[in-house]
Amino acid sequence: MAVALTPPNVPGRAGELLAALGDRAELHDVYDEVGSPIYHDFSVTDTHEVRELVGLVRRTPGAVLELAAGSGRLTLPLLALGRQVTALELSDGMLRLLDERLAQARGGLRERCVPVRADMSSFALGRRFEVIVLGTTSVSLLDEKGRAGLYAAVREHLAPGGRFLLSTADIVPSPAPGPDAGETAAEAEVEVEAVIDAVGVSGRVYRMHDHWPAGSDTRTVTIFPATVGDEGPVTVCTTTVGVLPADRLETELAAAGLTVLSRHPLPGAGRYRDVLLEVGVTA
Ligand SMILES: C[S@@+](CC[C@H](N)C(=O)[O-])C[C@H]1O[C@@H](n2cnc3c(N)ncnc32)[C@H](O)[C@@H]1O
């Protein structure tokens, strides 16, 4: 039997499915012009970490800088606190979606939001903020050099006594797989690649493959439509992100002159436990 070649950068079962689609597959980055509306569709109603983040922001009055703001899943609740929010984002597609949402928002939210197109690993906004937010474990989108740039920029932009609030995905230790654990090959494969169905606000259903071999410092997320039919183009979106346990992040922050003041575990199940860190500048 011929084995389909796994396209570059998409490992595992998702890669096989992609190869099987052949030239029907139209592969995009999750945050590009085509991927952004898909990401927005299934994530916009997700309330994960919103309550915890808003609770921490409330404790520190003043202007907010939100990094990697996307289409505004966190931005709108932050604006609803009555704060000035600068929403920094790299993707034009995401910024367009954010603009559309702000245009529809009521209560003066649009007037208090300043969207900025910039790279969170290197930005200079010429002012300081009482609170800087980086949610949705998006710190893991940056490599080590990018994170060093991020920490330096955060220090430059944080007002005295200000707080940097960021989340990361901590790893849940699992028992070592193998014959002793009575585990089948299929079960082991499930552990490497979790498959989750998600319904978008449009009603479309997506199938998300999260490929993470235990111990790897990156994981690959690939999103297919839940049904692909027999013909016609199929849009598939993929992204490879880092896995950055909270202890390592805390060590990196300390080396950059930033101190973790408190850790807040976020609700959730599965292989990762997200945690929200409250960070200040080291005295
Ligand atoms: C996981 S999404 C989170 C978006 C939003 N915070 C949310 O909760 O839906 C990550 C976002 O980071 C953006 N992004 C990726 N790399 C970036 C960078 N270097 N600088 C700024 N934004 C970036 C992506 O375009 C995407 O919108």
Q: Evaluate whether residue 252 is within a structural domain.
A: yes
Q: Evaluate whether residue 269 is within a structural domain.
A: yes
Taking each helix axis as running N to C, give the angle between helix 246-255 and helix 144-157, from 0 to 180 degrees, rounded to the nearest 10: 60
The CA 209 to ligand 1 mean position distance, Å, reads: 19
Q: Evaluate whether residue 8 is within a structural domain.
A: no
Per-residue pLDDT, averaged over 4-13, amounts to 70
Tokens representing 161? 């006594």
Contact 157, 127 (CB under 8 A): yes
Domain co-membership, 194 together with 153? no
68 lines ligand 1 (CB under 6 A): yes
Domain co-membership, 128 together with 71? yes
Domain co-membership, 123 together with 258? yes
Task: List 59's β-bridge partners, or say none.
Answer: none
Ligand 1 atom closest to the CA of 137, numbered from 1: 1
Q: Evaluate whether residue 230 is within a structural domain.
A: yes
pLDDT tops 90 at residue 61: yes
Which is nearest to 150 in space by CA: 180, 124, 116, 168?
124
Nearest CA to ligand 1 atom 27: 70
Instruction: Give residue-wise pLDDT tens across range 22-39.
Output: 999 999 999 999 999 999
The CA 134 to ligand 1 mean position distance, Å, reads: 9
What pLDDT is recorded for position 166? 98
What pLDDT is recorded for position 3? 34
Domain co-membership, 114 together with 251? yes
What pLDDT is recorded for position 9? 80
pLDDT tops 70 at residue 258: yes
What pLDDT is recorded for position 4? 40
Total domains in the chain come to 2
72 lines ligand 1 (CB under 6 A): no
Domain co-membership, 88 together with 193? no
Domain of residue 214 covers 21-32+173-242
State the pLDDT confidence band at 95, using cuts at 50, 70 and 90.
Answer: very high
Query: What CATH number has the domain bearing residue 132?
Result: 3.40.50.150
The CA 27 to ligand 1 mean position distance, Å, reads: 19
Using the structure block, give the residue that is written with the tokens 């950055």. Answer: 244
Contact 18, 27 (CB under 8 A): yes
Specify whether the backbone of 103 is left (phi greater than 0), alpha (psi in -120 to 50) or beta.
Answer: alpha
Domain co-membership, 55 together with 102? yes
Q: Evaluate whether residue 10 is within a structural domain.
A: no
Contact 195, 207 (CB under 8 A): yes
What is the percent of the chain with per-residue pLDDT over 70, rounded to a whole number?
90
Question: What average pLDDT does the structure give for the chain?
Answer: 91
What pLDDT is recorded for position 5? 41
153 lines ligand 1 (CB under 6 A): no
Domain co-membership, 274 together with 257? yes
What pLDDT is recorded for position 191? 76
120 lines ligand 1 (CB under 6 A): yes
Instruction: Give residue-wise pLDDT tens across range 158-195.
Output: 999 999 999 998 876 655 555 555 656 555 555 799 99
Domain co-membership, 166 together with 111? yes
The CA 173 to ligand 1 mean position distance, Å, reads: 27
The CA 5 to ligand 1 mean position distance, Å, reads: 30
Q: Evaluate whether residue 9 is within a structural domain.
A: no
Ligand 1 atom closest to the CA of 120, numbered from 1: 20
Q: Are strands 129-134 and 25-29 parallel, antiparallel or unpaired?
A: unpaired
Please report, as a single letter, which amino acid is at residue 16: E
Q: Evaluate whether residue 15 is within a structural domain.
A: no
Nearest CA to ligand 1 atom 19: 119
What is the percent of the chain with per-residue pLDDT over 90, rounded to a whole number?
83
The CA 167 to ligand 1 mean position distance, Å, reads: 13
Instruction: Give residue-wise pLDDT tens across range 106-155.
Output: 989 999 999 999 999 999 999 999 999 999 999 999 999 999 999 999 99
Domain co-membership, 72 together with 149? yes
pLDDT tops 50 at residue 1: no
Domain co-membership, 131 together with 163? yes
49 lines ligand 1 (CB under 6 A): no
- Cα angle 12-14-16, degrees, rounded to a multiple of 5: 75
What pLDDT is recorded for position 271? 77
Domain co-membership, 148 together with 262? yes
147 lines ligand 1 (CB under 6 A): no
Distance of CA 37 to the CA centre of its chain: 15
Domain co-membership, 139 together with 68? yes
Q: Evaluate whether residue 1 is within a structural domain.
A: no
